[in-house]
Amino acid sequence: MVGVAGRRLRVGQWHQDSTEDKGGVPARPLMILNGIGMNMEMLEPVTRHLGDRRVISVDMPGTGGSPDPVFPYTIPQMALTLASLLDRLHIDAVDVLGISWGGAIAQQFAFQHKARTGRLALAATAAGAAAMVPGNPALLGAMLDPTEYTMEKALRRNLASLYNGGGAERISLNAAKAPSFSGWMCQMMAFAGWSSLPFLPVLDVPVLIMADDDDQLVPAANSRLLHNAIPHSRLEVFAGGGHLFMLSDPHGFSTRLRAFLNERTARKAA
* Domain range list for the chain: 2-269
Return all residues near 153 (Cβ < 8 A) that are at least 6 apart. Answer: none
Q: Catalytic: 223? A: no
Q: pLDDT tens digits for 109-147?
A: 999 999 999 999 999 999 999 999 999 898 888 888 888
**From the candidates 57, 66, 100, 254, which is the catalytic residue?**
100
Tell me phi and psi for residue 58, to 5 degrees: -140, 155
* % the chain with pLDDT above 70: 91
Domain topology for 2-269 = Rossmann fold (3.40.50)
- The pTM for the full model equals 0.93
Alpha-carbon distance of 60 to 209, in angstroms, equals 23
Q: pLDDT tens digits for 206-225?
A: 999 999 999 999 999 999 99
Return all residues near 240 (Cβ < 8 A) that are at least 6 apart. Answer: 164, 165, 166, 167, 212, 213, 214, 248
Q: How many CB atoms lie within 10 A of CB 19?
A: 14
